């Protein structure tokens, strides 16, 4: 696993060992609130790759919230493959994980967060995926005990996405998106996105990632 832990998530604060949220394996959706209208309004004005990047970010909050309670590295490999996708390599086709192995309030929530990334990208093929992106945020809010930290991050990131990756109906996917769009502290005015993407992709070990092992590197790589 070569995915670097995101600095925008206060893992030492959110990764408590106690679990307070309710969960239903029969119908996990019944425990999750409907997407926020304001969030969806903003996401409707963001490129498809931008909305998918937001869904990945929300899933990262979920995965890292359970870092002390789940040692399985599969979610991190999955997240990395999704970043490779939004950074321009559309040979990556994430399909989710084996649902039967991902049950309960911890693994079930992780699985749903990752599946929502897939849904977001797939739905964007037919139009804006703001509803799926908004739902991704609600999964994070379900599992986080201190929701204010996520909400503060979300507000800042939504403004960054609409500024740097606005939706163009002539080219709705938009350009490749660097992970740093989710880092409110990174000034994207002073650094080139392609350099950020190239730096990320240069660290990806495709052969050790089960979701990338059959994928040829593409995009902003040293060999490009």
Identify the pLDDT of residue 219.
56
36 lies in some domain:
yes
Identify the pLDDT of residue 224.
37
Domain count, the chain: 1
Identify the pLDDT of residue 8.
94
1 lies in some domain:
no
61 lies in some domain:
yes
7 lies in some domain:
no
Identify the pLDDT of residue 223.
39
- Among the listed residues 204, 184, 217, the one whose alpha carbon sits nearest the alpha carbon of residue 76: 204
14 lies in some domain:
no
pTM of the model: 0.94
What range defines the domain where residue 78 resides?
21-208
173 lies in some domain:
yes
CA–CA separation, 119 vs 113, rounded Å? 10
Identify the pLDDT of residue 222.
45
11 lies in some domain:
no
Identify the pLDDT of residue 81.
96
User: How many whole angstroms from its chain centre is CA 1?
Assistant: 17
Burial (CB < 10 A; 0-12, 13-18, 19+), residue 122, is middle
CA–CA separation, 20 vs 156, rounded Å? 27
140 lies in some domain:
yes
φ, ψ (nearest 5 deg) of residue 32: -110, 135
pLDDT tens by residue, the chain, 224 residues: 679 999 999 999 999 999 999 999 999 899 899 999 999 999 999 999 999 999 999 999 999 999 999 999 999 999 999 999 999 998 898 877 777 789 999 999 999 999 999 999 999 989 889 999 999 999 999 999 999 999 999 999 999 999 999 999 999 999 999 999 999 999 999 999 999 999 999 999 999 999 999 888 875 544 33
CA distances from 201 to 29, 174, 211, 223 (A): 34, 19, 15, 11
């Amino acid at each position: 696993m070569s995915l670097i832990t995101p600095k925008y998530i206060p893992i030492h604060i959110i990764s408590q060992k106690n679990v307070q949220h309710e969960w239903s394996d029969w119908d996990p959706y019944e425990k999750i609130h409907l997407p926020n209208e304001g969030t969806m309004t903003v996401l409707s004005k963001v490129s498809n790759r931008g909305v998918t990047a937001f869904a990945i970010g929300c899933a990262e909050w979920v995965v890292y919230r359970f870092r002390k309670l789940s040692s399985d590295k599969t979610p991190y490999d999955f997240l990395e493959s999704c970043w490779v996708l939004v950074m321009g390599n559309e040979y990556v086709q994430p399909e989710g994980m084996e649902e039967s192995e991902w049950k309960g309030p911890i693994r079930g929530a992780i699985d749903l967060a990752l599946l929502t990334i897939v849904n977001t990208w797939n739905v964007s093929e037919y139009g804006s995926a703001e509803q799926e992106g908004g739902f991704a945020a609600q999964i994070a809010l379900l599992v986080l005990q201190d929701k204010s930290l996520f909400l503060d991050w979300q507000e800042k990131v939504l403004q960054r996405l609409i500024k740097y990756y606005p939706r163009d109906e002539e080219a709705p996917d938009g350009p490749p998106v660097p992970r740093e769009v989710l880092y409110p502290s990174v000034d994207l005015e002073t650094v080139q996105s392609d350099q950020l993407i190239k730096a990320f992709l240069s660290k990806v070990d495709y052969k050790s990632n089960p979701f990338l092992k059959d994928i040829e590197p593409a995009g902003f790589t040293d060999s490009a």
